[in-house]
Amino acid sequence: MITRMSSLFLRTLREDPADAEVPSHKLLVRAGYVRRVAPGGYSWLPLGLRVLRNIEQVVREEMDAFGAQEIQFPALLPKEPYEATNRWTEYGPNIFRLKDRKGADYLLGPTHEELFALTVKGEYSSYKDYPVTLYQIQTKYRDEARPRAGILRGREFVMKDSYSFDLTDEGLSHSYQQHRDAYIRIFDRLGMQYVIVSATSGAMGGSASEEFLAVAPTGEDTFVRSTESDYAANVEAVATPAPPEQSIEDKPDAQVHHTPNTPTIESLVDFLNAAGLGRTFTAADTLKNVLVKLTQPGAKESTLLAIGVPGDREVDFKRLEAAVSPAEVSMLEESDFTKNSFLVKGYIGPGALQANGVRYLVDPRVVRGTAWVTGADKADHHVVDLVQGRDFTPDGVIDVAEVREGDPSPDGKGVLVAARGIEIGHIFQLGRKYADAFALDALGPDSKPIRVTMGSYGIGVSRLVAAIAEQSHDDRGLIWPRNVSPFDLHVVVAGKDEALAAGGEKLAGELSAAGLKVLLDDRKASPGVKFADAELIGVPTIVVVGRGLANGVVEVKDRRSGERVEVAVDEVVEHLRALVRG
């Protein structure tokens, strides 16, 4: 198949679009892959649609390969199933809602758990029917507050969403693993650099969950990875390793000290080191007690929660929110301190908290036998050598202190470093939430109902176009991996004389006959313009039909490395076929 630039619906742009901040957005617009139609709404021009379809096809093949079956739902969905699971309400302003001419409520589907569960319920009834995995590659809608970065975060986008239906937890684990393996094959075939991170889940509610993040400095998601292993996780999911417990017996007694003018950890440490206590203190020796209020879903009253973390770390509110979800976190107000006069601001210690029934959870580092400098519940006073398990006993552990680069990796290998990524896939053991909502049961061999358990798995297909572009470009343009590229070869006729044009046509014809997808630049433009467009468009192999043709050679250029080789015309078809087919 030959596509000719002379008639291709493509006009490249020299300037970056004004609204573009990230490289993929700039380059996909400049190279004529996509155009903005509305906030978060893009049209796919011929080149872009080809890349999108190539990615779709890789996803489809790997889903089919493990027995997932493709179906397709409408995007325009009635309200009722989403009311049954409460998502109609939970989504808030994040979904598009509309009414039909009769006033009935509809939404544009953001994900289709409800419809898949209802469909399986409609078709299947016996335990013999299970397990089954269904998927669709479909246009989805979310009314993002801040659509950004072109197709990286749009309001209309293409997703592969799949759902597994099993009768047992072990079955669900197996389906989950099948997806995990398929995702690895998909992202490998797409030539991506990615990490699989443990994740907490959003509005979908459930348990085991991992995200696939394409590593990219422009990504919205922060994660940490080990310097010496494959370990990677969202900061919300990092499990801080607890140090070994220590003996209580050899610890000095706790002593209250008058510590005037020490409102901050830093001033406290300075004071202690100047106090002649015979040892050196750091912020990590202090125990900071942070108070928040928790409101359980549906509750009118909030309750106090105290969190003890080493004084050299802040509480990470994203981690805290994830840890206490679905409860909501809020900060204390002045009136809360007035109401609870035992809270001496700046000098809160475990004593008053526990004496007054405030739930007190501590960082995993605060193990039995560790000794701390902390508040003495009295203005201008701290207590030194307050020992966990001797002088205070927390109500439990909460792992919400900030994660820092240099922290030990939870797997014991290396230390953590921070990185950013783009979420390209998400696998998730939903469990029985949706099956419960719709009473999705299979009739068991004993004629008793078995409640089905589900998994939910997504790949951002249109987002992948941008994610790949983020990972694979240089300052001259895009560089597509072979499996994704809109064409196998970009043949540039570098000159205007007729022999070159004829030579280019002939070569393109032979390459096409060999089963290769060829983009032929047959325009009357200058070689400079054509080369610049070829670099911008990013087909991985560029074939230059130029002055060498008279000597029986053409030039084959690798877009990524810039390497050029001259190849004899009568060998070039076989040379290129081998290059493309690998």
Q: Residue 189, Cα to own-chain centre: how many angstroms?
A: 19
Instruction: State the minimum distance, in angstroms, from the CB of residue 147 to a second copy.
Output: 10
365/248 Cα distance (integer angstroms): 16
The edge-to-edge listing of strands for the beta sheet with 359-362 is: 328-331, 287-295, 303-310, 359-362, 396-397
Stretch binding a second copy (CB under 8 A), from 70-78, 328-336, 421-429, 536-544: 70-78
Stretch binding a second copy (CB under 8 A), from 117-125, 229-237, 403-411, 430-438: 117-125
Does 146 bind a second copy (CB under 8 A)? Our answer is: no
52/486 Cα distance (integer angstroms): 9
Stretch binding a second copy (CB under 8 A), from 18-26, 94-102, 257-265, 345-353: 94-102
- CA gyration radius, the chain: 30
The SS3 of residue 362 is strand
215 or 518: CB nearest a second copy:
518
Stretch binding a second copy (CB under 8 A), from 116-124, 330-338, 387-395, 504-512: 116-124
Q: What is the DSSP string of 228-255?
A: SSS-EEEGGG--PPPPPP--STTSPPPE
- Determine which residue in the list 15, 18, 89, 101 makes contact with a second copy, applying CB under 8 A: 101
- Determine which residue in the list 19, 21, 35, 203 makes contact with a second copy, applying CB under 8 A: 35
- Determine which residue in the list 2, 17, 56, 73 makes contact with a second copy, applying CB under 8 A: 73
Does 132 bind a second copy (CB under 8 A)? Our answer is: yes
Residue type, 230: D
Stretch binding a second copy (CB under 8 A), from 121-129, 373-381, 447-455, 483-491: 121-129
Report the first-to-last Cα separation within the chain, whole angstroms: 19
Helix (H) or strand (E) segment spanning residue 213: strand 209-215
For CA atoms 326, 85, 433, 65, give the dihedral sign. Answer: negative
393: tokens are 């006993």
- Determine which residue in the list 26, 31, 44, 454 makes contact with a second copy, applying CB under 8 A: 44
36 or 382: CB nearest a second copy:
36
533/538 Cα distance (integer angstroms): 8
Instruction: Output phi, psi for 384, to 5 deg.
Output: -110, 145
113 in Cβ contact with 140 (< 8 Å): no
Stretch binding a second copy (CB under 8 A), from 68-76, 383-391, 422-430, 496-504: 68-76
74 or 241: CB nearest a second copy:
74
Q: Closest by alpha carbon to 237, among 265, 197, 207, 204?
A: 197
Which residue shows structure tokens 């394409």? Answer: 214
467 in Cβ contact with 519 (< 8 Å): no
308 in Cβ contact with 302 (< 8 Å): no
123 or 498: CB nearest a second copy:
123
- Determine which residue in the list 16, 17, 84, 97 makes contact with a second copy, applying CB under 8 A: 97
Long-range pairs of 243-247 with CB within 8 A, sequence gap ≥ 24: 243/365, 243/367, 243/370, 244/367, 245/367, 245/368, 245/369, 245/389, 246/367, 246/368, 246/369, 246/370, 247/369
- Determine which residue in the list 2, 16, 17, 49 makes contact with a second copy, applying CB under 8 A: 49
496 in Cβ contact with 524 (< 8 Å): yes
- Determine which residue in the list 2, 17, 75, 290 makes contact with a second copy, applying CB under 8 A: 75
Instruction: State the minimum distance, in angstroms, from the CB of residue 513 to a second copy.
Output: 17
109 or 425: CB nearest a second copy:
109
293/418 Cα distance (integer angstroms): 30
Please count the residues of this chain forming the interface with a second copy, following the rule CB under 8 A: 50
Does 252 bind a second copy (CB under 8 A)? Our answer is: no
76 or 529: CB nearest a second copy:
76
- Determine which residue in the list 19, 21, 37, 228 makes contact with a second copy, applying CB under 8 A: 37
45 or 265: CB nearest a second copy:
45
130 or 223: CB nearest a second copy:
130
Does 397 bind a second copy (CB under 8 A)? Our answer is: no
347/431 Cα distance (integer angstroms): 44
Instruction: State the minimum distance, in angstroms, from the CB of residue 356 to a second copy.
Output: 43
* Omega cis (within 30) before 23: no
Which residues, in sequence order, are CB contacts of 365 under 8 Å at separation 6+?
240, 242, 243, 310, 401
Instruction: State the minimum distance, in angstroms, from the CB of residue 104 to a second copy.
Output: 8
Does 156 bind a second copy (CB under 8 A)? Our answer is: yes
Alpha-carbon distances, residue 425 vs 42, 184, 187, 461 (angstroms): 21, 10, 9, 9
Does 124 bind a second copy (CB under 8 A)? Our answer is: yes
Does 127 bind a second copy (CB under 8 A)? Our answer is: no
- Determine which residue in the list 19, 61, 98, 526 makes contact with a second copy, applying CB under 8 A: 98
Which residues in the 2-21 window bind a second copy by CB under 8 A? 7-11
67 or 515: CB nearest a second copy:
67
229 in Cβ contact with 415 (< 8 Å): no
291/231 Cα distance (integer angstroms): 32
3-state SS, one letter per residue, for 261-299? CCCCHHHHHHHHHCCCCCCCCCHHHEEEEEEEEEECCCC
Instruction: State the minimum distance, in angstroms, from the CB of residue 518 to a second copy.
Output: 15
- Determine which residue in the list 83, 84, 90, 106 makes contact with a second copy, applying CB under 8 A: 106
Tell me the per-residue interface mask from 485 to 524 with a second copy, x by CB under 8 A, - otherwise. Answer: ----------------------------------------
81 or 410: CB nearest a second copy:
81
* DSSP structure class, residue 129: G
- Determine which residue in the list 70, 228, 314, 333 makes contact with a second copy, applying CB under 8 A: 70
Point out which residues bind a second copy (CB under 8 A).
7-11, 32, 35, 37-39, 41-46, 49, 52, 67, 69-78, 93, 96-98, 100-101, 106, 108, 115, 119, 122-124, 132, 134, 139, 141, 143, 145, 155-156
